[in-house]
A and B are shown apart, each in its own frame.
Chain A
Amino acid sequence: MRTIWYEETLIAMIRIEIDGQAVDVERDTTILQAARQLAIDIPALCHHAAVKPYSACRICTVEVIRRGRSQLTASCSYPIREEIQVLTNSERVIHARRVLMELLLAQCPESKDIRDLAHRLGVENTRFRTRGEGSNCILCGLCVRVCRDVIGVSAISFVNRGWKREVKTPFDAPSEVCIACRACAHVCPTGAIQAEDISGNRMLSFWQTSRELQACASCGRPFAPGAEVQHLTRGRDDLRESLGICPQCRRTETGGRLERWTTSAQSRAIKDHGTP
């Protein structure tokens, strides 16, 4: 292995090649990260920078040539540890990705996001039997991981096994712990989870759960689930005031404070020097 030592940082860099372009990366950088450094686009569905790789969708498959041998692998979880050559667009990769895409298309033919990605990969139809009515979930697990590892609530999980596997709340009942922060809806790659604010409540119908929205302490408009505000301000009295008002009012208030500050600074300057 050729290792380049960068004196200032003393970090061992590994030189790899992606689609013919060389790049030096730190050990354990994933292929997906390295490719993004080069602005090489690799499709990815179950990957999100906020959580650890999980490699469920395999759509990020690339061809890795290591010591003269080639293999197909998921780029989002492949840690770079030695000199390798990566092909993100070889015939093998394209073929594998298209088959995967057909499978995903069969699983949720109604998801616009999935159909758009399929179209991008040149897949319009699927040879596999499509799942009828049902959710658009592809079981990527992003919602479960974000809720557990980033939000720290663990309101949802995978349930059952095999072809019955689903993401659900415990006992398939409205969640008792969900704070309706909608982080799950935000990361879901297929739009299976939707959050709606209606008449003072935030509804997450996918989880059969709703939470009351709290009124802004300043303008009185309902703006965020009380449960979420409470969760964010747990043990943080310093945040309670600023998170109790809606983003709009917060902006107005910050603007006002800034204005007061500049005018007082100006008047001080006039006092000291006679001119502003």
Chain B
Amino acid sequence: MESEELQGIIDHYAGEKGALISVLQDLQGVCNYLPEPALRQVSDALHVPLSQVYSVASFYNAFSLKPRGRHHICVCLGTACHVRGAPRVLQEMERQLGIRAGDTTEDMNFTLESVNCVGACALGPVVVADGGYSGQMTARKVSPLLKTLGTSHEENQNDS
């Protein structure tokens, strides 16, 4: 992201209390992660110490300090999902993607993460893929889900 574009985001929230989180959210939305130079710029522009910016950026799950893949998969490991077999779903995800939770595939296609409860316990085990919720997940449903994500990505690429 160009620094002017980031300055635009910052100006948009300038003067607001709690502007920091809003700016970081937008930045995460545009870049898919929070690059270090951008965090430095935010710190300077908002007059918030860099340590404070880094503290917030590393606290929330919604923020990532490492580049995330084009597709973001979140497996819920909260209590309800856990007892209904979420660990097996995660294991299968890890196996098929060849990465561990928290990592991104080498082709930058998928980032796999786990969370503790997304608030849809009745549907558990839940997987949130690119913002879409899939309930009652099983290890067998992993492959079709990845395929849909994969094709939608290819479609996007053909579009552009």
Contact = CB atoms under 8 A, between A and B. Distances in A.
Nearest to B61: A161
B58 interface: yes
A154 interface: yes
Interface residues of B, number: 12
Interface string B23-53: 0000000000000100100000000011111
Contact of B54 (A148, A170, A177): A170
B5 to A, nearest CB: 22
A261 interface: no
A19 B123 CA distance: 54
A148 B52 CA distance: 10
B125 to A, nearest CB: 21
A155 B51 contact: yes
Contacts of B50: 170, 176-177
Nearest to B48: A154
Nearest to A154: B49
Contacts of B54: 157, 159, 170-171
Contacts, number: 33
A169 B39 CA distance: 14
B49 A161 contact: no
A150 to B, nearest CB: 14
A171 B36 contact: yes
Given A159-B54, A170-B54, A171-B36, A148 B59 contact: no
Interface in A129-186: 148, 154-161, 169-171, 176-177
Q: How extensive is the interface on chain A, given as a class?
A: 10 to 19
A158 B55 contact: yes
A171 B54 CA distance: 7
Residue of B54, B58, B59 ringed by the most chain A CB atoms within 10 A: B58
B51 A160 contact: no
B59 A154 contact: no
A170 B53 contact: yes
Contacts of B39: 170
A120 to B, nearest CB: 33
A161 B54 CA distance: 12
Contact of A156 (B51, B58, B59, B60): B51
A160 B53 contact: no
A176 B36 CA distance: 14
A169 B51 contact: yes
B49 A148 contact: yes
Contacts of A171: 36, 54
Contacts of A155: 51
Interface string B50-76: 111111001110000000000000000
Given A160-B58, A170-B53, 12 more contacts: A154-B49, A155-B51, A156-B51, A157-B51, A157-B52, A159-B58, A160-B59, A161-B60, A170-B54, A171-B36, A176-B50, A177-B49
Interface of A: 148, 154-161, 169-171, 176-177
20 contacts: A154-B49, A154-B51, A155-B51, A156-B51, A157-B52, A157-B54, A157-B55, A158-B59, A159-B54, A159-B59, A160-B58, A160-B59, A161-B58, A161-B60, A170-B50, A170-B51, A170-B53, A171-B54, A176-B50, A177-B49
